[in-house]
Amino acid sequence: MSARSGCAVMLQTFDQIAAAGRDVSIDADVVVVGSGAGGGAIAAELAEGGRSVVVVEEGGHYTSKDFRADAPAMIKKLYRNAGSAPILGRPNIIFSEGRCVGGSTVINGAMSWRTPEKILKRWQWEHGLRELSPEALDPFFTQVEERVSVGPQDPESIGEDARLMQRGADKLGYAWVPAMRSQKHCCGANNCAFGCPTDAKQSVLVTYVPRLLAAGGQLYSGCKVERVLTDGQRAVGIVGRFRHPESGARGPKLTVRAKVVVLACGAVQTPALLLRNGLTNSSDQVGRNFLCHPNSKVVGVYEQPIHAWKGTIQGNQIREFIDEGIMITTSMVPPALLAMSFPYFGARSWEVMRDYDKMLAAGCLVEDTGTGRVSLDLFGEAKMRYDINDRDFANLIRGVALTSEILFASGARRVLLPFDFLPELGSADEIQRLYAHPIPKDEVECLTVHAMGTCRMGVDKRSSVVDPHGESWDVPGLFVADASVFPGPIGVNPQITIMALATRTGRWLLDNERRYFAE
Amino acid sequence: MTAAPRALGPWSRRVVRALAEVVLPDGDGAPNVPLDEIVAFADSFVPYLPRLLRLLFPVGLMMLELGAFVLAPSLVPFSAMSLARRRRYVDGWVHARWRLRRDLIKAVKGLCLLGYYSDARVRARLGYAVEEHVADVSAERLRRHAANI
């Protein structure tokens, strides 16, 4: 029973299970590990299709009543490792992902774009995934968009930061598009990164999870899956351990025996779980092909207060350079997170930060052509390694230059850069300084929230981990339904692609009942 | 809910405190946040770091503390240096050729600044009245769209 709503749904938290003090053992048709974009979508699809579904989520269960604008407190609750996991390489990249019921959809900007056609074509021609055509995927995109209410923002929710970016892009003749987000009358609280306090954001927490529970599915939160069970051939379930999502205190054991196991822990934790279990790696591709859309922040400082922290997190995206693999948008964050990203400290930090209300933070994202790797560290935990290649680095610098240009065109008096050696530009004329000398890669501040590609889908079992339906080549009955399966980067926010592919995998399972669910 | 465990021993807390005194904004209208609060904030954050970083965190602090004997060079450890000398020493780490030193100081500096700029007094001084904003727009949303949400 849900402790929060009191209604007759099966959502059990660590505290409830720990209070009972007994190991839990259950049977189901399907067990889904992870409750984010992929896990939530496939779990609801299967439950509504009549299958008994158990979802196991490592993070805690929080709702809009818990979501506040207290960044540190929410980061600890909602983010894996409080958002501090480093991707080691040149440069180091900070990676943030959700770890809570609803996964990263609870803490992302809910940007909702279909996979660009050029990407699907690349997947078709370079990876042989002929079934992933725009036409074939259209019904899945349509369903997902309806489930999570994808649409443009109400005008009153657009903030001054988006208006300024639009003005800058218009002055320079750069194409931009209004943001499409999964939201219902978003009011521009701009608390997306710490959980939507109004439930306007249509995260998995308020869309697919209620659908799953209404269809009779079960969800256990605060439980870390340790083993994937096999009978020597097929996947037959999982074993997990309840752990307090914040303190890590150990609780009872959970065993779920199921006909199908779906891993949807994200492109870092899914390969880590597979590597820990020594599963489905005959191709030696698990954890390889790690993609992360490296991005950097550029901050414009204006003459007057612009209150960029009011209004929706992204009101538009600059798409002029999308074919070059560069996407630019606003991404204002609270002062604490902004101050951390600057090289300043002491008195100089305050000199800069006291203009916070005059600042506009924008980000440029690069569609990566290089790859990294997820492997295991000494403790068996996921370790990420990614060295940005020269081409992508040049693109990132170009992205920073273009973002600076747009900010100056919109009226910014100065621009703060993500470089230790060149932290500030005073005018658009100074942008050329970015190209004057080679920039050391490890002097650039980079971050990402997009991880992809580590259990990639393909038609050749020698070069991929799962088949075109997401099923492991090596372990029948074991599926992957998150961004791990992407054969390459997509250059835009991945939420809708993850949901559509997961829904497609769910539909495949329902359409092949006799193969997967026969007694 | 079970309280999160504390991670730093007294020795590590002393080093964080000494570093926070260098890193935290001062003067020119910067609100004063007690150093003990910043140390407690850092202490509460460390348990959430990835396990390897959690274990290496005190090691890094030890490098900062004892490195003063060689790198400053100083007859006393970092935490016992005068504030002016600590500032120069930290500046040396920020611009060090050895990347590990730069990464370490960046991480601890970032943690201290996260604590400082999250403080309610600092947020108020910056004009970041986010709670009021959220309350206002939430009420407006209900007024406009109650029938459709």
Both A393 and A473 in one domain: the answer is no
Quick check: is B17 in a domain? yes
Task: Test B126 with A377 for CB contact under 8 angstroms.
Answer: no
Inter-chain CB pairs, A–B, below 8 Å: 161
Q: Looking at the partner chain, which of A310, A357, A377 has a beta carbon nearest the beta carbon of B52?
A: A377
Task: Test A69 with B134 for CB contact under 8 angstroms.
Answer: yes
Helix (H) or strand (E) holding A297: strand A295-301
Q: Which of B22, B49, B130, B132 to mutate to test the interface with A (most CBs of A within 10 A)?
A: B130
Task: Test A337 with B114 for CB contact under 8 angstroms.
Answer: yes
Task: Test B130 with A191 for CB contact under 8 angstroms.
Answer: yes
Nearest to B100 by CA among B76, B120, B71: B71
Quick check: is A376 in a domain? no
Task: Test A346 with B123 for CB contact under 8 angstroms.
Answer: no
Q: Looking at the partner chain, which of A92, A309, A381 has a beta carbon nearest the beta carbon of B51?
A: A381
Q: What is the number of other CB atoms lying within 10 angstroms of the CB of residue A50?
A: 13
* Confidence (pLDDT) at B148: 81
Do residues A174 and A406 lie in contact, with contact meaning Cβ atoms separated by under 8 Å?
yes
- How far apart are alpha carbons A417 and A422 in whole angstroms? 7
Quote ipTM for the complex.
Answer: 0.94
Query: CA-based angle B31:B36:B40, to the nearest 5?
Result: 110
- Tracing tokens 């991945």 back to the chain, one arrives at A494
Quick check: is A450 in a domain? no
CA–CA distances in Å: residue A282 to residues A266, A461, A464:
21, 8, 9
Q: Which of B117, B132, B136 to mutate to test the interface with A (most CBs of A within 10 A)?
A: B117
Quick check: is B107 in a domain? yes
Distance from CA of A201 to the nearest CA of B (A): 11
- How far apart are alpha carbons A502 and A144 in whole angstroms? 10
Distance from CA of B66 to the nearest CA of A (A): 22
Both A215 and A167 in one domain: the answer is no
Give the CATH number, domain containing residue A461: 3.50.50.60
Instruction: Say how many CA atoms lie within 13 Å of A252 toward its Cβ.
Output: 18
Distance from CA of B105 to the nearest CA of A (A): 11
Average pLDDT on A26-45 reads 98
Q: What is the pLDDT of residues A349-378, one digit of tens each?
A: 999 999 999 999 999 999 999 999 999 999
Given a cut of 80, whether residue B1 has pLDDT beyond it is: no
CA–CA distances in Å: residue A165 to residues A332, A360, A412:
12, 9, 10
* Confidence (pLDDT) at A281: 94
Average pLDDT on A258-276 reads 98
* Confidence (pLDDT) at B5: 54
Both A420 and A499 in one domain: the answer is no
Both A253 and A320 in one domain: the answer is no
Both A307 and A339 in one domain: the answer is yes
Both A43 and A105 in one domain: the answer is yes
Task: Test A305 with B127 for CB contact under 8 angstroms.
Answer: yes
- How far apart are alpha carbons B124 and B31 in whole angstroms? 10
Quick check: is B149 in a domain? no
Quick check: is B34 in a domain? yes
Q: Which residues of A touch B133 (CB under 8 A)?
A: 189-190, 309-310
Per-residue burial over A76-110, b if 16 or more Cβ lie within 10 Å, else e, is: bbbbbbbbbbbbebbbbbbbbbbbbbbbbbbbbbb
Give the number of domains in chain A. 2
Quick check: is A90 in a domain? no
* Confidence (pLDDT) at A10: 79
Nearest to A262 by CA among A72, A419, A74, A470: A470
Boundary of a domain, candidates A418, A445, A472: A445
Quick check: is A288 in a domain? no
Both A205 and A275 in one domain: the answer is yes
DSSP A21: T
Both A178 and A135 in one domain: the answer is no
Task: Test A350 with B144 for CB contact under 8 angstroms.
Answer: no
Radius of gyration of chain B (CA): 20
Both A157 and A141 in one domain: the answer is no
Average pLDDT on A146-166 reads 97
Both A60 and A162 in one domain: the answer is no
Task: Give bridge partners of residue A438 from the DSSP assignment.
Answer: none
Boundary of a domain, candidates A445, A469, A490: A445
Q: Looking at the partner chain, which of A337, A346, A350 has a beta carbon nearest the beta carbon of B22?
A: A346
Both A114 and A244 in one domain: the answer is yes
Which amino acid is present at B119? D
Quick check: is A440 in a domain? yes
Q: Residue B34: give the domain boundaries.
A: 10-118
Boundary of a domain, candidates A423, A445, A467: A445
Give the number of domains in chain B. 1
Give the CATH number, domain containing residue A334: 3.30.410
Quick check: is A441 in a domain? yes
Q: What is the pLDDT of residues A383-410, one digit of tens each?
A: 999 999 999 999 999 999 999 999 999 9
Given a cut of 90, whether residue A519 has pLDDT beyond it is: no
- How far apart are alpha carbons A327 and A174 in whole angstroms? 12
Task: Test B141 with A340 for CB contact under 8 angstroms.
Answer: no
DSSP A460: -
Distance from CA of B149 to the nearest CA of A (A): 7
Q: Residue A495: give the domain boundaries.
A: 10-76+98-149+196-282+455-514
Quick check: is A381 in a domain? no
Quick check: is A103 in a domain? yes
Distance from CA of A245 to the nearest CA of B (A): 10
Would you name the residues of A annotated as active-site residues? 450
Quick check: is B100 in a domain? yes
The verdict on pTM exceeding 0.80 is yes
Both A33 and A131 in one domain: the answer is yes
